[in-house]
Chain A
Amino acid sequence: ILNVEQSPQSLHVQEGDSTNFTCSFPSSNFYALHWYRWETAKSPEALFVMTLNGDEKKKGRISATLNTKEGYSYLYIKGSQPEDSATYLCAFNGGNQFYFGTGTSLTVIP
């Protein structure tokens, strides 16, 4: 069984704070690393698909980096807003299926 770990499990930040979370995955048989945002009562929504070591992706105030050699990815949120409150999931694609972490639950306090 393949392990994808996310930390921290949950996070409470003040509006305007910047924050980051970690996704750890196996460094072998790497195809891709996905990040998803899952808001309450909605379906998970894709943020980034990362495929190459050293990849950096950015979407507005959210960005992500990838290190496939050591098996981790960071997600950064700059200037958190209440609408950023959600669970952030990472998913490791080992070639034949996706392995999801348990997510980081972010609450942004106005």
Chain B
Amino acid sequence: KAGVTQTPRYLIKTRGQQVTLSCSPISGHRSVSWYQQTPGQGLQFLFEYFSETQRNKGNFPGRFSGRQFSNSRSEMNVSTLELGDSALYLCASSLVQGDNSPLHFGNGTRLTVT
């Protein structure tokens, strides 16, 4: 079974630009969640999608948005990039959020904003 796939692995963008990250979950997994990791911080929850609906959102500004498609693939968009958005972005899939199945993580996208 293929794991969670995130693309691209690395991105360099300039302040003010926007970026789109992609996540393909494990086949059959319907929940996709996104996390940001910056140095010294734990993984910070961005949002979670289930059946194309955003079910939960973390404490991030509206510049961070996402969506999920009918095949459960998810995209995350960050507009008007700031230097502080430089981070590792991880997505994770699970069978159903809330049933206590473990999260399966992708390898992440390393975003650098200059």
> Which residues of chain A have a CB within 8 Å of any CB of chain B?
1, 4, 31-32, 34, 36, 42-46, 49, 51, 89, 91, 93, 95-103
Contact = CB atoms under 8 A, between A and B. Distances in A.
Interface stretch (B12-20, B62-70, B73-81, B102-110): B102-110
A96 B58 CA distance: 10
A103 B42 CA distance: 7
Interface of B: 3-4, 33, 35, 40-45, 48, 55-56, 58-59, 90, 98, 100-108
Chain B, interface SS category: loop
A101 B42 contact: yes
B20 to A, nearest CB: 20
B102 A43 contact: no
* Residue of A46, A49, A98, A99 contacting most chain B CB atoms (<10 Å): A98
